[in-house]
Chains A and B, each alone.
Chain A
Amino acid sequence: MNGVLIIDDNPVDVRLQARVLKRCSRFGPINSASNGQEALDILSDPKKHNPSSGIPPILVLLDVNMPVLDGFGFLSNLQESNELRTNYKIVMLTSSNAEIDRKRAEQFDLVDRFLVKPLTLEDANALAQQYLPEIF
């Protein structure tokens, strides 16, 4: 149970984060969604994240600025839906170090950490150590 869902509208960022996570070699199946709405759809059915096992992700990397439904819209929707709130941790990962975004993220209990892009190997190892302790 070490899958990751990357929610980001920039395909280059998605590829970059996926490559970093793979090089960390502690995370499992990596899936992505290009906006909050797609992500809610995937999380509503674990088989959409991992068709072979049907196991939901352990970690969600969430961007802020996305069309259709942005990061905060995704969190608001999630907050209202008990069915979608399983055991995954949400890390907000954004280019913006704007104080306004940090403060807004703090209003959601669902957000476990707030990181500024780019996701580095050091970040990925730290996330693995925090969220996948049984592997260490």
Chain B
Amino acid sequence: MNNNIASGKIPAQVGSANERSVQDLEFQLKQANEELTQFNYHVSHDLVAPISTARGLLHLMEHDLTAGITEELPELLSDAQDQLVRLDKLVSDLMLLARAGASDHHMEAFDLRPMLDDIVSTMAMHVLELEISVTLKADQPVLTSDRVRVQQILTNLISNARKFVDPEELAPEISVTCDQASTGICLRVMDNGIGIDKAIAEKLFGLFTRGTSQHAGHGLGLYIVAKHAARIGGTVTVESYSKPTMFEVLLPNVLPGSIPGVTSEVMNNNGKLHSV
């Protein structure tokens, strides 16, 4: 693979401004095509895989029923159901990915506290017989940004933290912090889980990058996070790989008055710290 495409770096350019502009466009087009090719390959595989497994399980159930073998039927049925759940999750992720790629965004003021409540309520925080504590620390929990995208960013980061909990950690926790300054909004999601393998650091936010076999997802979650952040002029980086694992999302600040309906009173709302 072209290293420039993999690294996202634009090759050295020569010639006039117009020539450089054409070179930039050609590079971006090449990068987009490469991404699309990879995407098509992985999606077609990930869509087919659970279907073929479910077919195999049904074929085996048919054989067993014919032969009068029933001991493994409950397990075979359960496995077949798992494959459909997996397929359903991929379809949902693909729809989220499509929304992440959309160019529209809607800036509004919103409070992180009920947002975090919503996110946590959709996930079981009781994992491996451990209760994961999720906390928010924000002197100014009201942000002005794209609420839907920020919610998706936090959902995916918290979901990952939950997925990679350390089974030997007696007090697993996920903490979300928010700092606002004139320079921008800084959201951090930290956890004391098993951490991130530095070997995959370079492609962590790439398409279909999966962490381990044991915690297999489709590898779209962080890609979606990066896409959402980029769409609203922000960035997401890993600031720490282990104990804690820390993702940092930087979003541009929006001044009151620049967005209709956003007043100084809303922007200066100092809510109390909120624990979930």
Interface residues of A (CB under 8 A from B): 9-10, 12-13, 15-16, 19-20, 23, 34-35, 65-68, 95-98, 100, 116-121
Please name all residues of chain B whose beta carbon is closer than 8 Å to the beta carbon of A35 when the two chains form the complex: 213
Contact A12 B52 (CB under 8 A): no
- Determine if B17 is an interface residue (Cβ-Cβ < 8 Å): no
Shortest Cβ distance from residue B66 to the other chain A in the assembled complex, whole angstroms: 11
Please name all residues of chain B whose beta carbon is closer than 8 Å to the beta carbon of A66 when the two chains form the complex: 213
A89 to B137, CA, bound (A): 57
Contact flags B240-274 to A (C-beta < 8 A → 1, else 0): 00000000000000000000000000000000000
A88 to B238, CA, bound (A): 43
Contact A120 B48 (CB under 8 A): no
Contact flags B79-106 to A (C-beta < 8 A → 1, else 0): 1001100000000000000000000000
Shortest Cβ distance from residue A38 to the other chain B in the assembled complex, whole angstroms: 8
Other than the given A12-B83, A35-B213, A121-B59, 5 more pairs (CB < 8 A) read A12-B79, A15-B79, A23-B63, A65-B45, A118-B57
A116 to B55, CA, bound (A): 12
Return the chain A residue nearest B55 by Cβ. A118
Contact flags B59-70 to A (C-beta < 8 A → 1, else 0): 110010000000
Candidates A68, A98, A120; contact of B56 at CB < 8 Å = A120
For A12, A68, A100, A118, which residue has the most chain B Cβ atoms within 10 angstroms? A12
Return the chain B residue nearest A64 by Cβ. B45
- Determine if B122 is an interface residue (Cβ-Cβ < 8 Å): no
Candidates B49, B210, B212; contact of A95 at CB < 8 Å = B49
Total cross-chain contacts (CB, 8 A):
69
Question: Which residues of chain B from 16 to 48 have a CB within 8 Å of any chain A CB?
Answer: 41-42, 44-45, 48
Interface residues of B (CB under 8 A from A): 41-42, 44-45, 48-49, 52-53, 55-57, 59-60, 63, 72, 75-76, 79, 82-83, 210-214, 216
The answer to whether A121 and B52 touch (CB under 8 A), given A16-B79, A67-B211, A98-B44, is no
Please name all residues of chain B whose beta carbon is closer than 8 Å to the beta carbon of A121 when the two chains form the complex: 59-60, 63
The answer to whether A118 and B59 touch (CB under 8 A), given A16-B53, A34-B213, A96-B48, is yes
Please name all residues of chain A whose beta carbon is closer than 8 Å to the beta carbon of B212 when the two chains form the complex: 67-68
A34 to B229, CA, bound (A): 33
A92 to B212, CA, bound (A): 21
A96 to B59, CA, bound (A): 19
Contact A117 B214 (CB under 8 A): no
Please name all residues of chain A whose beta carbon is closer than 8 Å to the beta carbon of B42 when the two chains form the complex: 65
Please name all residues of chain B whose beta carbon is closer than 8 Å to the beta carbon of A10 when the two chains form the complex: 49, 53, 216
Return the chain A residue nearest B210 by Cβ. A67
Contact A67 B52 (CB under 8 A): no
A68 to B57, CA, bound (A): 27
Shortest Cβ distance from residue A100 to the other chain B in the assembled complex, whole angstroms: 7
Shortest Cβ distance from residue A132 to the other chain B in the assembled complex, whole angstroms: 21
The answer to whether A96 and B44 touch (CB under 8 A), given A19-B72, A67-B213, is yes
Contact A119 B56 (CB under 8 A): yes
Shortest Cβ distance from residue B9 to the other chain A in the assembled complex, whole angstroms: 25
Please name all residues of chain B whose beta carbon is closer than 8 Å to the beta carbon of A120 when the two chains form the complex: 56, 59
Contact B53 A100 (CB under 8 A): no
Contact A118 B56 (CB under 8 A): yes
